[in-house]
Amino acid sequence: MCRGGRMFAPTKIWRRWHRKIKVNQKRYAVVSAIASSAVPSPVMARGHKIESVPELPLVIGDSAEKTSAAIDILKQGKTRNRRYISRKGSLIVYGTEGAKLVKAFRNIPGVEVANVERLNLLKLAPGGHLGRFVIWTKSAFEKLDSIDGSFDKTSEKKGYILPRSKMVNADLARTINSDEVQSVVKPIKKKVKRAPMKKNPLKNLNTMLKLNPYAKTARRMSLLAEAQRVKAKKEKLDKKRAQIPKEEAAAIKAAGKAWYQTMISDSDYTEF
């Protein structure tokens, strides 16, 4: 008997691991992740310490060629005793292919490097959570408008339009309570018209009379007939339970004995 044994119901290799997603939906997710990286609140919610960062999005030059210079830019502390789990740090996005900046940042734990033309959604939003701290190089930041387009400039991607925000002012309560909106909306309905509660005609007599006016007469006749049946039954029982006078009881007993004697005399088995 082996120690530990095998796994129960092991994961099969023919499981459907991947799902097909529309290209436009993937692009929408990528640009949403890029937009959220420029807002301080989701970035700080992920745990990034950006209190000393001058602005978001953060753009640096392409001058970093060695790891020491890269560490000076990031100013990261050491993470001791983290052999197995290393937290996600910042993402460096560069624009020039074969840049020396890639070799400078690739050896720092937690820091990842990506090309602006090949942005990966799993790096922009690890675990499906938006708000990763992204550091852009100047060349990469300048290429963003040509790759994804803008509201004034078309994208290099065929048939792709940058998604626009549905609302210019996201303060919905302020928009609703504004004078422009309140002047055209209908006034508040103070009189509330409630639906009346329906009553069961089989349990409520007034409701039954509205539906069937003859119900009152029919019910009265049934009550009178019931009273007559009760009266007749009581009279019959009283008659049966009434005590018989002694003279009548004696006459009944004598008649019974006379009938018995007659039956015996007419029988063929009298000698027995």
pLDDT for res 155: 82
Q: How many Cα atoms within 13 Å fall on the side-chain side of residue 37?
A: 23
Say what angle helices 138-148 and 23-36 make with each other, to 10 degrees: 140
pTM over 0.85: no
Contacts of 144 by beta carbon, 8 Å cutoff, 6+ apart: 34, 116
Handedness of CA 164, 167, 169, 170 (dihedral sign): negative
Note the pLDDT tens digit of each residue in 40-67. 898 888 888 888 888 888 888 777 666 6
pLDDT for res 84: 61
Q: How many Cα atoms within 13 Å fall on the side-chain side of residue 166?
A: 2
Q: pLDDT tier at 85 (50, 70, 90 boundaries)?
A: low
Q: How many helices (H) and strands (E) does the chain have?
A: 11, 4
Above pLDDT 70, what percent of the chain?
Answer: 88
Distance from chain centroid for Cα 72: 48
pLDDT for res 77: 39
Q: 201 vs 78, 95, 210, 222, 226, CA distance in Å?
A: 82, 81, 9, 18, 22
Strand order across the 112-115 sheet: 58-60, 134-137, 91-94, 112-115
Contact 102, 94 (CB under 8 A): yes
pLDDT for res 271: 54
Q: List residues bridging with 135 in a β-sheet.
A: 58, 92
Burial class of residue 159 in the structure, from the number of CB atoms within 10 Å of its CB (0-12 exposed, 13-18 middle, 19+ buried):
exposed
Q: Report whether pLDDT(272) > 80.
A: no
Q: Report whether pLDDT(86) > 50.
A: yes
Averaged pLDDT for residues 210-215: 94
pLDDT for res 64: 62
Q: Report whether pLDDT(221) > 90.
A: yes
